Chains A and B, each alone.
Chain A
Amino acid sequence: MPIFSWSARGDVPPVGDPAFDGLLAGNLLPEDTAGGLRPVAEVIAALNAPPVTSELAAEASALRAFRAAGRSGEPARSRPRRHPLLTSLLSAKLAAAAAAAAAVGLGGAAAAAYVGALPAPAQKVAHDILGAPSAHPTPSATPVGPDATGPAAFGLCTAFAHLKAHGSAAEQAVAFRNLATAAGGAAEVTAFCAKVAHPGTTPSAEPTTHPTGKPSTLPSQVPTGRPSGKPTTHPTGRPSTLPSQVPTGRPSGKPTATR
């Protein structure tokens, strides 16, 4: 059973054809095309098919990396940096492998039409895992999401406020389920969030002491990117100082060229 309906034969447009630009910009759908362009349009549509589990399997580890970098609203800076990142990378790979194996293992009759359809990595993963005696067909990990009763509540509420107006499946997302649980029900989220204070405004009293002296440790990271713009000011005028040294020695050789 073919998935792509490119039994239709026809000339492929020449390089420079405006139809190619329509395909590349996503403005041309397979049903708008004919002849040799149709299979190309279907490939592009297939490239942009909705995500599948294997492509979203690493979400938990991505969120762990987010937390490990101290971006999650909770103070995580005292933790060692390297370990969580490595853990995240490893579990990302494992989760993807498990999900890919599940997808491939469930390949079904449709697979017969697609001899040679799998890319090598999926092939290897499938082989490794399908060949193992104790492989499980489905990944067992369940996304847990951030704890909405903790310091993440403010961030969750902020995002929720942005998403609420659009009424999509927002409430069903894991994070928002947690938020709803913490609030005591989906209907209570708005009231709950109204009471969540910004993390920066929580302390009720000013600190009584102020740090003095220099920090004992240096920042552990150096900037990795380059400046994105040019300097906004340019030097004008002459240098205010002259070079402090004059040449002291004599030239050691004769000029080698003359006019």
Chain B
Amino acid sequence: MGSDLPAKGSALARGAVDAVVLLPLSGGRRIGCGRPDLAPILACVIGEEFGPVLAAAQDGSEAAFAVLWRDVNPVLLRYLRVTAPGAAEDIAAETWVQVVRGLPGFRGDERAWRAWLFTAARRRAADEGRRHSRHPVASLAEVPGALEPRTEDAAGLAMENLATAAAIAAVSELPPLQAEVILLRVLAGLDTEAVARIVGRSQGAVRVAAHRGLRRLGQTLTRTGVTL
């Protein structure tokens, strides 16, 4: 998938070209990070180059570590914005410090790598007791200057942010377990088995929670129409 995706005229497909730091890699199953011609449905995944890149990072290559970081940090932040609102950046940074320390001893494929990262972030969020401080989403109208029109290019960049932010806000409305299993599935790219291990539930419970969450999401969005 990827190259056969139609270049939709939507904000999602246009992408935030200027905002994206170029990734040295474009391989993998879910390509297209930062490439407007290849709108991704799922986040960047390094794919078959993961092994060599990991090995280079473990050998001390900063460039290789940067590839790993750029691949996961955005989705890690989006996960934490739902599960630990207000502390996402802090917890992500702390998670990477922990990951750097454990990097030489890590063994596993990309799925195990992502499971490790999200597990570390989840534990850190729980340790800090921040996970249950779920804040209500504030209104954009309260931001001074946020609604003033700017240039076209800037609007394109911001729309990308807003679409993602709106999606994060919508998922944040779900019960915590439903929100978390959905995010671990679609952001971390983990299967039901891995998610079940991370959240400490059975695979059946995870599957049901994910389906309930998606159904609830669909009902909410359909009921409220365009305005989210």
A residues whose Cβ falls under 8 Å from a Cβ of B = 2-7, 9-10, 12-17, 20, 23-27, 29, 31, 36-37, 39-40, 42-56, 58-59, 61-63, 65-67, 69, 71-73, 85, 88-89, 92-93, 96-97, 103-124, 126-127, 130-131, 143, 145-146, 152, 154-156, 158-160, 162-163, 166, 168-170, 172-173, 175-176, 179, 199, 221, 224-225
Contact = CB atoms under 8 A, between A and B. Distances in A.
A2 to B, nearest CB: 4
A159 B212 CA distance: 43
8 contacts: A5-B10, A37-B218, A47-B78, A50-B33, A51-B73, A58-B93, A108-B154, A224-B98
B198 interface: no
Contact of B49 (A26, A27, A37, A166): A166
Interface in B62-82: 62-67, 69-70, 73-75, 77-78, 81
Contacts, number: 402
Interface of B is mostly: helix
A162 B143 contact: no
Contacts of B142: 123, 127
A109 B159 CA distance: 9
Interface of B: 1, 5-6, 8, 10-12, 15-16, 19-27, 30, 32-35, 40-44, 49, 52-53, 56-67, 69-70, 73-75, 77-78, 81, 85-90, 92-94, 96-98, 100-105, 135-151, 154-155, 157-172, 182-183, 185-187, 189, 191, 208, 210-212, 214-215, 217-219, 221-222, 225-228
A126 B140 CA distance: 10
A74 B29 CA distance: 34
Contacts of B136: 120
A53 B19 contact: yes
B186 A26 contact: yes
A23 B92 CA distance: 26
B137 A39 contact: no
Most B-side CB within 10 Å, residue of A24, A143, A175: A24
Contacts of B89: 58, 92-93, 96-97, 121
Given A63-B66, A111-B162, A69 B146 contact: no
Contact of B226 (A6, A71, A123): A6
Contact of A107 (B86, B150, B164, B169): B150
Contacts of A37: 218
Contacts of B96: 62, 65
B158 A40 contact: no
Contacts of A115: 139-141, 227
B92 A58 contact: yes
A159 B171 CA distance: 37
Contacts of B101: 69, 221, 224
Given A6-B225, A92-B93, A121-B81, A104 B143 contact: yes
Most B-side CB within 10 Å, residue of A20, A31, A154, A199: A20
Nearest to B167: A46
A55 B77 contact: yes
Contacts of A221: 101
Most A-side CB within 10 Å, residue of B92, B151, B172: B92
Given A73-B59, A89-B90, A169-B26, A3 B169 contact: no
B162 A3 contact: yes
Nearest to A116: B139
A51 B100 contact: no
B24 A169 contact: yes
B222 A155 contact: no
A168 B26 contact: yes
Given A50-B160, A52-B16, A117 B59 contact: no
